[in-house]
Structure 1
Amino acid sequence: MLMQHAEPTTGDVTTTKADVRAYAWVVFALTVGLLLSDYMSRQVLNAVFPLLKTTWSLSDAQLGSLSSVVALMVGVLTFPLSVLADRWGRVKSIVLMAAMWSLATLGCAISTNYGEMLIARAFVGIGEAAYGSVGIAVVLSIFPARLRSTLTGTFMAGGAFGSVLGMAAGGAVAAHLGWRAAFGAMAVMGIVLVVCYRFVVTEKRLAPLQPASANRQTEGPGVRMSFRALMKGLFSTKSVVCAYVGSGIHLLVPAAIWAWMPSFLNRYYGMPTGKAAMSAALFVLVTGLGMVVCGNLADRLSKNVRERKWVAAIAFCLACFTLLAIGFHMPAGPLQLVVIGIGMFFCAGASGPSGAMVANLTPPSIHASAFATLTLANNLLGLAPAAVLTGMVADRIGLLGALQLVPFAPLVAAIAFFIGKRNYAGDLDRLNALREQAMR
């Protein structure tokens, strides 16, 4: 008989106590709160691009490097730091990371030149490096597997909402108090959230929310497996590799547009810095809403047919390509912004399905490492090169010309997802069979 939906059940929460469920949502809220701080610290820079360009006479490539260096550090360090977090303790690692990026953001506020700012931004990236992978691993460990696309999409949307707050609040503060105060405000928020997380979330309080099987895997030798075994778990199938690649490439679009939309509105619509930042924040907000809606839609569509997660990811990428390709070739005006906004709704829509597929295709004991690999792909293939490459191209052909090339990235991502879909059923059946044998 054909198995319609044999997603792994590892990670299902079997406890039904109301207080346990409530605490799970508290943990989720605080973890997403720190993600908001993460992206507020990262994206506040984009709101003050015009001010920094004037203050230090920077080129677009230099401005882009200040944004891209964060994603580069995240990409380079996410995997080793996530593996260490699996071994050292996820909660302790989260507290340490959040404290580092908050203090580094404070360092940005007191920078006196481009070089100092670049170093401070690098340390923001070091602090943020493993947070996305470790944070989502904590969340997925205390909720049912059937919610994975929704939770992953919502968690990653926290990055979009944090970007909205960072750009909007940062632009408003910068307009009244200067760009240094904008960085300082983001740093203070991060420090406050770190203190709250430190006293509310502990490994001991998380343990009752996790299924016994997950606890055994976390406490047993799985966390301390050999490097070869870890690599085998992370890259065991073609479909999981396609999920990594497709996710990374499709995120080049939001990264590039989030970074350059304030400048685009400033240059082509004549908006002042504060208004441009606030207006650009709306596009980021639309992206975040799209991530939540698309993640939930993917869960609903794949409830009975597991391959539909891949179909959904492909559809979101194609919609993004079509709408943004049209939008950036339209003349400046309200209609252009509407079309671009609709395209932004879908531009990160595949994040939820990608995360769910990675979780389904890897053991729970290495989920932090698996999401570190996903984060590595997201950053090295999309987030890290997006701003600086767009800036380099903009220096040659103008910002509008550079943004017209960006929508081709999700077209490539759709191809990767299509290849993954063709292999998913067999890969998942094989992995489930291996897990059942291991449990006997």
Structure 2
Amino acid sequence: MLMQHAEPTTGDTSVAQSDVRPYAWVVFALTVGLLLSDYMSRQVLNAVFPYIKATWELSDTRLGSLSSVVALMVGVLTFPLSVLADRWGRVKSITLMAAMWSIATLGCAISTNYGEMLLARAFVGIGEAAYGSVGIAVVLSIFPARLRSTLTGAFMAGGAFGSVLGMALGGAVATSLGWRWSFAAMAGLGFVLVIVYRFVVTEERLAPLQPAGVGRANNLGVRMSFRALMKGLFSTKSVVCAYVGSGIHLLVPAAVWAWMPSFLNRYYGMAPGKAAMSAALFVLLTGVGMVVCGNLADRLNRTVPQRKWLTAIAFCLACFVLLGLAFQLPAGPLQLALIGAGMFFSAGATGPSGAMVANLTPPSIHASAFATLTLANNLLGLAPAAILTGIIADRIGLLGALQVVPLAPLVAAIAFFIGWRNYTRDLERVNALREQAAP
């Protein structure tokens, strides 16, 4: 279905469909499974916002901080922890991280006040900090380069699907058993997946699936100086634009995911449990959009690599127009339909962004490169989204705050446009330097 293209890659020699072995898909499934747990633990909070607001009489700003603190910890710690994972071992690091966020989620269930909950949520973020970058690095190391946009989009969509499950199941459990059991259920699932991953995935079993030379490249990455690492991560204007555009465009899904249950509760009169389950449908649309948009970017990239940038721009502009119009309309079916359409495209640039970062950085630092991408995603989009929306909502109302949010993908489109203008020249420069450095 996907054809090999002429775009230069970063040393990946796997191009044939037969090179994708069954165990690679097992690893992919388990890695995505842990990502589901990651986002279920993160987003279950949004499902119980109305309950926590009533229990502790919190402002929207404080509610938003409980969501944003996770992304803040991820943003601050993703890079150093990912670098450590490259050195200590990616599989061992993944197991440790998943265990930590599961324990912290259990801590949320027994919190007795806002301060305790904020601390527990911070540890959820510490546990999740490097998972996205290390997990995708493991996946991309055992699959051919021609599938990069598809795999990146599908992997990142696991976050959306995890958010769907976290919000829907969290809302259902909270309605039946209380909001504390929502966190306990997410923690229990995390513990089960940690045990399965620990026994099924090992560095020794991954090694035969990696292209020739990757193991050597990773050893070089371990010995790489900090200066050389920084040079590799920020070597071109286009890779910087990929980081920035990806981060800013994710402000929309983060804000809408966090506040949609509250929006439906306040403006549509839905009970908290029903609002959470209804909001999960919009998160599901985001996840479907990430997979479809990532696959579309690969298809359009068969002969013209630059089209990945143009598709990213198109996705951002579609989101800007659809959501911008939706939140100007009165409550009703048309508004909800346009919000759904906008959310389909809201994270569509994730796949192309990840593919560009992979293409413009060497395999030896891919975990660190995706850590940098994760850093940008969190500090520019995911971390500020919920709390900024809450701050604005405390002043002009939640609807007014959501009317401002769609400006983010417009800014992201500008960053992607600059990257597109420089991509061909930058890619030629990166590959020329790589050839000069080759023994």
Task: Give the TM interval when normalised to the shorter protein.
Answer: over 0.9
Q: How far did 1:216 drift?
A: 1.1
Equivalent position amino acid for 2:148 in 1: R
C-alpha RMSD of the superposition:
1.2
| Cα deviation code 1:390-427 (max 9, x no counterpart) | 00000000000000000000000000000000110011
Q: How far did 1:430 drift?
A: 1.2
Aligned to 1:270: 269
Given that 1:15 and 1:209 are in contact with CA atoms closer than 8 Å, whether structure 2 keeps it comes out as: no
Equivalent position amino acid for 1:84 in 2: L
Aligned to 1:74: 74
Aligned to 1:154: 154
| Cα deviation code 1:222-280 (max 9, x no counterpart) | 22210000000000000000000000000000000000000000000000011100000
| Cα deviation code 1:68-101 (max 9, x no counterpart) | 0000000000000000000000000000000000
Q: For the residues of structure 2 that align with 1:57 and 1:98, how far apart are their CA atoms?
A: 31
Q: For the residues of structure 1 that align with 2:220 and 2:144, how far apart are their CA atoms?
A: 24
Given that 1:109 and 1:180 are in contact with CA atoms closer than 8 Å, whether structure 2 keeps it comes out as: yes
For structure 1, the 5+ residue unaligned runs are none
SS in 1 for 2:214: helix
Q: How far did 1:16 drift?
A: 7.5
Given that 1:301 and 1:309 are in contact with CA atoms closer than 8 Å, whether structure 2 keeps it comes out as: yes
Q: Aligned runs of 1:100-119 on 2, under 5 Å? A: 100-119=100-119
For structure 2, the 5+ residue unaligned runs are none
Cα separation, partners in 2 of 1:34 and 1:12, compared to 1, 3 Å: farther
1:62 pairs with 2:62? yes
Given that 2:53 and 2:63 are in contact with CA atoms closer than 8 Å, whether structure 1 keeps it comes out as: yes
Cα separation, partners in 2 of 1:302 and 1:15, compared to 1, 3 Å: closer
Q: For the residues of structure 1 that align with 2:182 and 2:377, how far apart are their CA atoms?
A: 27
Equivalent position amino acid for 1:297 in 2: L
Equivalent position amino acid for 2:9 in 1: P
Given that 2:254 and 2:385 are in contact with CA atoms closer than 8 Å, whether structure 1 keeps it comes out as: yes
Aligned to 2:12: 11
Q: How far did 1:15 drift?
A: 8.3
Q: For the residues of structure 1 that align with 2:423 and 2:83, how far apart are their CA atoms?
A: 26
- Normalization by structure 2: what TM-score? 0.98
SS in 1 for 2:6: coil
Given that 2:15 and 2:146 are in contact with CA atoms closer than 8 Å, whether structure 1 keeps it comes out as: no
Q: For the residues of structure 2 that align with 1:17 and 1:338, how far apart are their CA atoms?
A: 42
Q: For the residues of structure 1 that align with 2:164 and 2:18, how far apart are their CA atoms?
A: 36
Q: Aligned runs of 1:106-145 on 2, under 5 Å? A: 106-145=106-145
Q: Aligned runs of 1:10-409 on 2, under 5 Å? A: 10-13=11-14, 21-218=21-218, 220-409=219-408
Given that 1:12 and 1:142 are in contact with CA atoms closer than 8 Å, whether structure 2 keeps it comes out as: no
Q: For the residues of structure 1 that align with 2:309 and 2:122, how far apart are their CA atoms?
A: 34
Q: For the residues of structure 2 that align with 1:12 and 1:123, how far apart are their CA atoms?
A: 39
Equivalent position amino acid for 2:24 in 1: A
Q: How far did 1:113 drift?
A: 0.4
Given that 2:140 and 2:148 are in contact with CA atoms closer than 8 Å, whether structure 1 keeps it comes out as: yes
SS in 2 for 1:212: coil
Q: For the residues of structure 1 that align with 2:18 and 2:289, how far apart are their CA atoms?
A: 32
Q: Share of identical aligned residues, percent?
A: 82
Given that 2:220 and 2:364 are in contact with CA atoms closer than 8 Å, whether structure 1 keeps it comes out as: no
Aligned to 2:413: 414
Q: For the residues of structure 2 that align with 1:68 and 1:176, how far apart are their CA atoms?
A: 27
Equivalent position amino acid for 1:408 in 2: L
Equivalent position amino acid for 1:205 in 2: R
Larger mean Cα displacement after TM superposition, 424-433 or 290-299 = 424-433
Equivalent position amino acid for 2:39 in 1: Y
| Cα deviation code 1:325-369 (max 9, x no counterpart) | 000001100111001100000000000000000000000010000
Equivalent position amino acid for 1:147 in 2: L
- Normalization by structure 1: what TM-score? 0.97
Report how many aligned residue pairs link the two structures: 435
Q: For the residues of structure 2 that align with 1:12 and 1:152, how far apart are their CA atoms?
A: 18
Q: How far did 1:436 drift?
A: 2.2
Cα separation, partners in 2 of 1:415 and 1:14, compared to 1, 3 Å: closer
Q: How far did 1:213 drift?
A: 1.3
Q: For the residues of structure 1 that align with 2:316 and 2:157, how far apart are their CA atoms?
A: 16
Given that 2:105 and 2:121 are in contact with CA atoms closer than 8 Å, whether structure 1 keeps it comes out as: yes
Q: For the residues of structure 2 that align with 1:77 and 1:234, how far apart are their CA atoms?
A: 17
Given that 2:35 and 2:162 are in contact with CA atoms closer than 8 Å, whether structure 1 keeps it comes out as: yes
Equivalent position amino acid for 2:424 in 1: A
Given that 1:108 and 1:121 are in contact with CA atoms closer than 8 Å, whether structure 2 keeps it comes out as: yes
